[in-house]
Structure 1
Amino acid sequence: MVSGSAIAGSDSTFATVSTNLDGWMTGSLGKVFSLAALAVGLGIGVIKQSILSVATGVGVALASSIGPGVLTNMFSAAM
């Protein structure tokens, strides 16, 4: 068996697109998206009188605000 280096994300073909999307999701656009998901979840939860919609809105808001940083760290980690 041959052992080689495993570096995640060493290909820079879509580096510009990745940088743009990361900037949008961690910047003000991501904050707006997170707040909108939370507001929609709260609104649907009030209308349906169900906590599940609120939990879904909170989950989407957390995933959209924390997710880009987690994915960036996963793909930039070197083994």
Structure 2
Amino acid sequence: MKAFKGIPRRRILLALTLVGASTGAYAVGIGSNDFDAVTTRLQNWMQGSLGKTFALGSLAVGLAIGVVKQSVMSVVVGAAVALSASIGPDVLSSIFTATM
């Protein structure tokens, strides 16, 4: 933050918000479907047997590390990864297809 030493934080936050909003509005205006096949395939993989295997594997690794370290945090991280792998594609799909 040395580069922004003389500028108040509110102005920096406002500038970043405006840049983010303008790029978001620009991205919404572009309606290309170049990557529809890839996103459909990845979503099907994550919601199918590959996603379940990934979720169970991350949960198992979290449990194993938690037993070795005798810590609950590894189990929480494993459960969070498993949860985000199984629910994440639906959440992201609903975010990107939402309309105002």
Return structure 1 stretches of 4+ with deviation > 6 angstroms.
none
Q: The residue matched to 2:99 in structure 1 has which SS?
A: coil
Structure 2: unaligned runs, 5 residues or longer: 1-26
Which structure is richer in relative contact order (CA contacts within 8 A, separation 6 or more)? 1
TM-score under structure 1 length normalisation: 0.86
Structure showing greater Rg: 2
Identical aligned pairs, as a percentage? 54
The structure with the largest helix share of the pair is 2
Unaligned runs of 5+ in 1: 1-5
Distance 1:59 1:8, change over 3 A: farther
Distance 1:8 1:59, change over 3 A: farther
Q: Counterpart in 2 of 1:69?
A: 90
Alignment of 1:11-22 (within 5 A): 11-22=32-43
Describe how 1:1-79 pairs up with structure 2 within 5 A.
10-79=31-100
Give the length in aligned residue pairs: 75
* TM-score, normalised via structure 2 length: 0.69
C-alpha spacing 1:11/1:48, structure 2 compared with 1 (3 Å): same
